[in-house]
Amino acid sequence: MSASEIPSDLLFQSSHEWARIEDDIATIGISDHAQAELTDVVFVELPEIGRTVDASDPTAVVESVKAASDIYTPLSGEIIEVNNDVEGDPSLVNTAPYENGWIFKIKLSKPEQVANLLTPEAYAELIG
């Protein structure tokens, strides 16, 4: 996947989670590359609203026909919203990973961690 196919407003973690930052809120999901590797997503285990997480904590689980994978939060904060739509229709993670297939939102407790994430260009290079 080329950098031009990756939304320019996202930042990435090397474990294939993305973050869209708006003020002190981050929306988190998995990359198109990750969903393609997983193939058909059949279940999403969402985190509990109100839970406090540290960057790199396993925070949610995505199960596909191939495997179950932990979703690691790229940033620290409090879970303030989950995407119930993916619980009812897990295929959204496959069909719209950067839009309707997001998994959770956190209120950032350490906004400086954003500097540790990969740009779309660096992520495109990582997945080659």
- Mean pLDDT over 22-35 rounds to 97
If you count them, how many residues does the chain have? 128
Across residues 26-31, what is the average pLDDT?
A: 98
- Contact at 8 Å (CB) between 115 and 89? no
Closest by Cα among 4, 2, 34 to 101 = 34
Predicted local confidence at residue 3, as pLDDT = 63
The model's pLDDT over 78-120, given as tens digits with 9 standing for 90+, comes to 999 999 999 999 999 999 999 999 999 999 999 999 999 999 9
Q: What is the CATH number of the domain that holds 8?
A: 2.40.50.100
- Tell me which residue range forms the domain holding 87: 3-127
The number of folded domains in the chain is: 1
User: What are the CA-CA distances from residue 94 to residues 35, 97, 127 (Å)?
Assistant: 6, 6, 17
Q: Considering the chain, what is the average pLDDT of its residues?
A: 96
CB-based contact 74:55 (threshold 8 Å): yes
Share of residues in the chain with pLDDT > 70 (%): 97
Read off the tokens for 110: 């350490």
Token output for 123: 């992520």
Given this model, what pLDDT does residue 31 score? 97
